[in-house]
Amino acid sequence: MKILVANLGSTSFKYRLFKFGAGEETLLAKGGYERVEDHGAVIEDCLKVLQEQGHLDSVEDLDAVGFKTVLGKNLSGCVEADDKVLEALAGFEAIAPAHNPAYANGIRQFARVMPGVTRVALFETAFYQWMSEAACRYAVPESWYELGVRRYGFHGASHKFVAERSAQLLGRDDVAEKVQRLYQKGDTAVERPLRIISCHLGGSSSITGICNGVAIGSSMGFSPQGGLPQNNRVGDLDSMAVPYMAKVGGLSIDEIERQMTKEGGLLGLSGVSNDLRDLIEAADDGNQRARLAIDVLIHSIRQWAGGFFWQMGGIDAIAFTGGIGENNAALRAAVCAGLEPFGLKIDPAANDSLKGEGNISVPGSSIPALVIPANEELVVAREVHRFMEARLTPAS
C-alpha cells in the first residue's frame, strides 16, 4: 500500500511517500515546494516527479493521500477527507486562519487531480479525544461551550509519536503497542503507569501530559494561540486584555487579533526576531529584551510541565521534540535545572553533544530526559494505513 502524506501551508507544499507491506513501512520519497501560488500545479508536478523517479507507475498506483488537518468544528479523529471535513475546516477557519484554508484548498485540489484516490484527514485534535471533561472545559457560559469554545490541544501527531517512541526507549512495549492502535481503541489500561511530559518546542510550541499513551491535557487550548509564547503569537493572555486595549488603546478587534497573532510571542517580547537562534545571539550580545523573551519561554515551559507533574503524581520521563527541543541544548538544560532532588539530572556532555535521538540525563537518573526527533508524517501515514486496512477488512 502506497500512501502520500501532504503537509500544506498557505504558500508551501511538502510531501512524503510511504510504502506499507509485509509488516514493514518504508519512506520512498520526500520533497517540497515553497512560495506556492497554485497548489494544483505543484501537486501535479509532485506526482510527475514521483513517476519519473519510479516510485509510482501512475496516479492510480497511490492508495491514499493523508492530511495532517489541524482543527475541525464538531469533527475530529482519523476520517475520510470528504465534504464533512471541508465543512468542519470552514467552521473553524477563523480560529486557525493559517492552517484550515490551506488544508481545505489542498483537499479540493487533490480531489480534482486524482478523484479516484482516497483522501484521509488525521486531525491534530484526535490525540486529545480522551482527555477528561475537566481538562477540556473553560469556565465560560454553557452557550459558549455549545458553540465550540473548549480546550482542544494541538501538535497531536508529534505528541503521539513521542508517546509511542518514549515507551519503546523506556522498555515499555506494552504501552507502545497500545499507542499504536490508540485511535482505533481508547482503552490503554496497563499494569504499571507510564507518565511522560512531552515538550514540542519550535516556531509553534506546546506541552502535553501523557499517561499510558493517552493525553491528559495540553498547554494549547481553543486555538493554536494558547499556551506557551509562540514565535509571533501571544500564547496565554488574560481575556480582559482584549477589551482593555480596545477601550484604552483605541484598537479595533481586528487590529488586536492581528497584533496578537503577528506581533506577539517571542517577537513581541524581544523586538528582535521570532527565531530563538536570533534571540540567543542577541542575548549573548547584551540585548536584555531578547534575554527576557528566552526567560519567559523557559518559565512557561516549566510552569506547564510542573502542572502535569502534579496532575500525574510524578513522571517517568520528560521528552523534547520539535526544532527547538531537538537542537537547543541550553534551553533543555534550563528547563530541567534544579530538578535533581526529584531524580532528573542532565548530563551536560551528553546534552551538548547529542545529535538526533537519545537520553541526555545522567546514567541511573530516576527520571530520564529524552530527545526524540519529531516524525509527524510517519504518524499520519500509519493512521491512514490503519484506516485503509479497516476499510478493506470485511465486517465479521
pLDDT in tens, 107-141: 999 999 899 999 999 999 999 999 999 999 999 99
The pairing of beta strand 317-321 with beta strand 369-371: parallel
Q: Which region among 4-13, 113-122, 143-152, 377-386 has the lowest average model confidence (pLDDT)?
A: 4-13
Q: What is the pLDDT of residue 394?
A: 64
The answer to the question of whether 77 is labelled as a binding residue is no
Cα distances from 175 to residues 74, 125, 158, in angstroms, run 29, 21, 17
Q: What is the pLDDT of residue 184?
A: 63
CB-CB contact of 142 with 176 (8 Å): no
Q: Is the pLDDT of residue 395 over 80?
A: no
Q: Is the pLDDT of residue 183 over 80?
A: no
Q: What is the pLDDT of residue 27?
A: 96
Read off the pLDDT of each residue in 286-311 and give the average, rounded to a whole number.
Answer: 98
Read off the pLDDT of each residue in 53-81 and give the average, rounded to a whole number.
Answer: 94
Confidence of residue 185 (pLDDT cuts 50, 70, 90): low
The answer to the question of whether 277 is labelled as a binding residue is yes
Confidence of residue 325 (pLDDT cuts 50, 70, 90): very high
Q: Where are the alpha helices (DSSP H) in 15-99?
A: 39-52, 83-91
Domains, the chain, with CATH or none: 2-122 (3.30.420.40), 156-371 (3.30.420.40)
The answer to the question of whether 313 is labelled as a binding residue is no
Q: Is the pLDDT of residue 187 over 70?
A: no
**What are the grid coordinates assigned to 15, written together?**
510531501
Q: What is the pLDDT of residue 60?
A: 86
The answer to the question of whether 172 is labelled as a binding residue is no
Read off the pLDDT of each residue in 37-45 and give the average, rounded to a whole number.
Answer: 88
The answer to the question of whether 100 is labelled as a binding residue is no
Q: What is the pLDDT of residue 176?
A: 87
Percentage of the chain beyond pLDDT 70 is 97
The answer to the question of whether 318 is labelled as a binding residue is no
Q: What is the pLDDT of residue 396?
A: 52
Q: What is the pLDDT of residue 186?
A: 55
Per the model's pLDDT, the better-predicted residue between 169 and 59 turns out to be 169
Cα distances from 18 to residues 3, 21, 28, 182, in angstroms, run 5, 10, 6, 21
CB-CB contact of 82 with 121 (8 Å): no
Q: Is the pLDDT of residue 15 over 90?
A: yes
Q: Is the pLDDT of residue 180 over 70?
A: yes
Of 396, 393, 382, the residue nearest 1 (C-alpha): 382
The answer to the question of whether 383 is labelled as a binding residue is no
Of 153, 149, 150, the residue nearest 200 (C-alpha): 153
Calculate the average pLDDT of the chain: 93
Q: Is the dihedral of CA 101, 102, 107, 113 positive or negative?
A: positive
Q: Is the dihedral of CA 98, 102, 104, 105 positive or negative?
A: positive
Q: Is the pLDDT of residue 387 over 60?
A: yes
**What are the grid coordinates assigned to 149, written together?**
469554545
The answer to the question of whether 327 is labelled as a binding residue is yes
Confidence of residue 390 (pLDDT cuts 50, 70, 90): confident
Q: Is the pLDDT of residue 287 over 80?
A: yes
Confidence of residue 179 (pLDDT cuts 50, 70, 90): confident
Residues 6 or more apart whose Cβ sits within 8 Å of residue 133:
none
Q: What is the pLDDT of residue 98?
A: 83
Read off the pLDDT of each residue in 283-308 and give the average, rounded to a whole number.
Answer: 98
Q: Is the pLDDT of residue 167 over 80?
A: yes
Q: How far apart are CA 320 and CA 371, in angstroms?
A: 5
The answer to the question of whether 202 is labelled as a binding residue is no
Residues 6 or more apart whose Cβ sits within 8 Å of residue 175:
163, 167, 188, 190, 194, 212, 213
**What are the grid coordinates assigned to 6, written together?**
501532504
